[in-house]
């Protein structure tokens, strides 16, 4: 058994924070969860998407059954352009067949409430405990809250979001310039997000996802069973901003960006409502995107959105945060099992370094592909627009293979039985088509074709351009 006095202090009742509490309890490890608010972290009742890798971990923890009434499976998904072009993509059905779980969406506040209500030990959660500072020692860490209390633990885990206080304290205590530079360099703002909920009219097609692409912006809409449509619009900013230096956005700007996109004929056909006019809530905020390379220093570690904030195009941000919690518990459980004494500072640093490396290996390719997909969806440049409008709609299976590749590599709790509803061939799945390679070949072919066309038929007379187009189309 692990040392009975090993204790983890979790900061933040975010989804990853509460998931970590459940995982640690299953591993027999003690914890204390500190939350600065008098309630749960998500102040905004937005929708979040649970992909099969996240669902499998929740299933292992016995939580998925308690969420059945909350989860709304995505039954249909469409890719839309302008007012007329719409293409169905079958990734929800394919993922269900391959992995046993259907991609689903749920209100974030309800999800967090469920995670809290089913904690075996609610007395391990302290509300109104805003972290003031963290102090380190050779044997333990001490966390001071603004009400003057001190809490001691062997490991402090920041699960307090993109503006993490724990991450800021890690930078301060380490006094390492590269940590501060890491945040300023790798966490940037290139998009603004406008999110809201529209109601009023009955919805024709429920449990449907619509991804609507336009020049410089894209919308992801989800039609719900309670006659609501949740939507998020992502607008590319005129330039890239450093972390914490993005401008404020007015209500007028939000309206200008939303009106045309939400009220297109395609969305009206799906929801029978004009999205902007029938909005219940809406706001426009900068959207930080980034993947930090270093997640820990000594006995301090950050997980979730404080370390990786991905573009929404792969729907993997939530799943990766749930995986962070499970993978950390795996490392601690294996490392502490059978030990008679607590680990030294050097030993903890070694374990957390290996954990950091494992998570980067998992998340880096997902982060890069999510960013590239966002460039496609917002028509960022002529080449991205050509791929988005003329290649992706004809290759609907790419979305399923793309998602499958990332889901199949997901972490799970390795000391908890494999859930019955998960397909046994999960880890054996290999994408039938390498999406990145296919698109790279496409890009190369398009560039070559454009260069040949620019050279002109006088230079290369007799060249069969139609044949080139057919070859590129097959990539």
pLDDT digits (tens, 9 = 90+) for 370-415: 998 899 888 888 888 888 888 888 776 778 888 888 898 899 999 9
What per-residue confidence (pLDDT) applies to 130? 95
Nearest partner of 94 among 405, 369, 420, judged by Cα: 405
- Over residues 155-174, the mean pLDDT reads 93
In the numeric block, which tokens belong to residue 351?
């374990």
Res. 260: pLDDT tops 90: no
- Over residues 33-56, the mean pLDDT reads 84
pTM: 0.87
3-state secondary structure of 133: strand
Query: How many residues are present in the chain?
Result: 475
Give me the torsion for CA of 2, 358, 426, 77, rounded to 10°.
120
CA distance 291 to 289: 7
Res. 9: pLDDT tops 50: yes
Sole residue written with tokens 């989800």:
222
pLDDT, averaged across the chain: 82
Lowest mean pLDDT among 83-87, 192-196, 205-209, 333-337: 83-87
What per-residue confidence (pLDDT) applies to 252? 75
Q: Positive or negative, the Cα torsion across 240, 243, 248, 251?
A: positive
CA distance 209 to 51: 14
Band of the pLDDT at 264, cuts 50, 70, 90? low
What per-residue confidence (pLDDT) applies to 221? 87
Q: What is the pLDDT of residues 312-331, one digit of tens each?
A: 888 888 999 999 999 999 99
- Over residues 169-177, the mean pLDDT reads 89
- Over residues 51-79, the mean pLDDT reads 93
Contact 402, 437 (CB under 8 A): no
CA distance 326 to 365: 19
CA distance 333 to 41: 27
Highest average pLDDT, of 189-198, 203-212, 300-309, 438-447, comes from 300-309
State the burial class of residue 119 (Cβ atoms within 10 Å of its Cβ: 0-12, 13-18, 19+).
middle
Res. 10: pLDDT tops 70: yes
- Over residues 226-240, the mean pLDDT reads 84
């Amino acid at each position: 058994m692990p040392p009975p006095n090993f204790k983890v202090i979790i900061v933040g009742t975010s989804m990853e924070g509460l998931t970590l509490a459940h995982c640690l309890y299953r591993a027999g490890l003690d914890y204390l969860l500190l939350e600065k608010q008098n309630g749960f972290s998500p102040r905004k009742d937005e929708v979040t998407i649970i992909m099969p890798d996240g669902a499998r971990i929740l299933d292992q923890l016995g939580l998925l059954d308690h969420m059945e009434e909350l989860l709304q499976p995505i039954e249909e998904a469409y890719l839309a352009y302008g007012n007329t072009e719409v293409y169905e993509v079958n990734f929800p059905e394919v993922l269900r067949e391959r992995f046993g779980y259907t991609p689903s969406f749920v209100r974030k506040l309800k999800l967090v409430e469920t995670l809290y209500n089913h904690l075996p030990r609610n007395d391990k959660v302290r509300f109104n405990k805003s972290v003031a500072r963290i102090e380190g020692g050779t044997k333990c860490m001490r966390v001071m809250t603004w009400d003057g209390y001190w809490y001691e633990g062997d490991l402090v885990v920041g699960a307090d979001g993109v503006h993490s206080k724990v991450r800021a304290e890690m930078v301060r205590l380490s006094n390492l310039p590269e940590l501060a530079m890491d945040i300023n360099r790798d966490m940037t703002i290139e998009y603004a997000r406008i999110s809201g909920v529209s109601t009023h009219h009955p919805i024709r097609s429920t449990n449907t996802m619509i991804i609507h692409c336009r020049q410089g912006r894209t919308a992801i809409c989800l039609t719900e069973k309670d006659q609501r449509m949740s939507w998020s619009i992502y607008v590319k900013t005129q330039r890239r901003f450093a972390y914490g230096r993005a401008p404020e956005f007015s209500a007028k700007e939000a309206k200008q960006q939303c009106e045309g996109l939400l009220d297109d004929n395609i969305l009206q056909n799906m929801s029978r409502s004009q999205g902007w006019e029938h909005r219940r809530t809406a706001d426009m905020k900068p959207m930080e995107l980034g993947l930090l390379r270093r997640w820990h220093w000594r006995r301090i570690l950050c997980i979730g959105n404080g370390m990786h904030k991905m573009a929404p195009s792969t729907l993997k941000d939530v799943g990766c945060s749930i995986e962070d919690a499970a993978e950390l518990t795996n490392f601690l459980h294996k490392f502490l099992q059978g030990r008679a004494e607590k680990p030294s500072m050097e030993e903890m640093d070694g374990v957390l370094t290996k954990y950091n490396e494992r998570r980067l290996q998992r998340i880096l390719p997902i982060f890069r592909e999510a960013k590239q997909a966002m460039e496609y969806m917002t028509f960022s440049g002529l080449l991205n627009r050509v791929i988005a409008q003329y290649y992706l709609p004809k290759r609907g299976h790419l979305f399923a293979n793309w998602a499958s590749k990332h889901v199949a590599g997901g972490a799970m709790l390795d000391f908890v039985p494999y859930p019955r509803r998960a397909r046994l061939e999960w880890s054996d799945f290999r994408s039938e088509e390498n999406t990145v390679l296919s698109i790279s070949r496409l890009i190369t072919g398009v560039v070559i074709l454009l260069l040949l066309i620019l050279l002109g038929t006088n230079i290369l007379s007799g060249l069969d351009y139609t044949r080139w187009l057919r070859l590129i189309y097959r990539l």
